[in-house]
Amino acid sequence: MSESHEEELLKIVEVSEAKTCPCGNNHRSHYVSQIGEYTGWGWFWVLFGVTTEPVRVKFVCRKCQTIVGVSEDKRILRRDV
Ligand SMILES: [Zn+2]
């Protein structure tokens, strides 16, 4: 997936609890990682190498570990995060 596609996706996905962290990053920042959250069974399948959809994606600043947003948008969940 190209960089520009990624940026386009981040413009359209629904992000709740969106905010800016102390270092000034938001969910579209390059310093922010997307971390998928799985249900207990989701993790189980991930251990066996089975691709599963996370229940939500957290956007976490890599500098200060602040969560700058949470998304349950299917368009971002279906991507590999
Ligand atoms: Zn930060």
* pTM flag (> 0.95): no
- For ligand 1, the distance from its centroid to the CA atom of residue 34, given in whole angstroms, is 14
- For ligand 1, the distance from its centroid to the CA atom of residue 63, given in whole angstroms, is 5
- For ligand 1, the distance from its centroid to the CA atom of residue 26, given in whole angstroms, is 8
- For ligand 1, the distance from its centroid to the CA atom of residue 59, given in whole angstroms, is 11
- For ligand 1, the distance from its centroid to the CA atom of residue 32, given in whole angstroms, is 8
CA distances from 23 to 16, 32, 36, 68 (A): 19, 11, 22, 11
Q: What percent of the chain has pLDDT over 90?
A: 59
Q: Could you tell me the residue ranges of all domains in the chain?
A: 3-77
| pLDDT range class, residue 34, cuts 50, 70, 90 | very high
